[in-house]
Amino acid sequence: MNKLIAMDISPFHVNVPEAELTELRRRINATRWPERETVTDASQGVQLATMQELARYWATITTGERSRQE
């Protein structure tokens, strides 16, 4: 029997120096991607295009956008 546990979600803030975020963006943009998967489904894991789209998002979101999303 599964029992649902009610939990309060508390907001939190993380302070990361801009230099660290800049370095993270540089590393994301420097990613060496593998060749495209050989199947059209997710049997080989997350598809390359999905990961590339997520990486583009991480590399381009600005500090101001992150603050507004909270």
46 confidence band (pLDDT: 50, 70, 90): very high
User: 0.85 exceeded by the pTM?
Assistant: no
8 confidence band (pLDDT: 50, 70, 90): confident
Query: What is the count of structural domains for the chain?
Result: 1
In terms of phi and psi (left: phi > 0; alpha: psi -120 to 50; beta: otherwise), the region of 55 is alpha
Any domain includes 33 = no
Residue 47 in contact with residue 35, Cβ under 8 Å?
A: no
Q: Please say if the pLDDT value at position 6 is more than 80.
A: no
- Structural domain of 19: 15-28+47-70
Any domain includes 6 = no
Residue 31 in contact with residue 56, Cβ under 8 Å?
A: no
Any domain includes 60 = yes
Residue 12 tokens read as: 């939190």
Neighbours of 37 (CB within 10 A): 15
Any domain includes 53 = yes
Kindly report the backbone phi and psi dihedral angles of residue 59, in degrees, each rounded to the nearest multiple of 5, phi listed first.
-75, -20
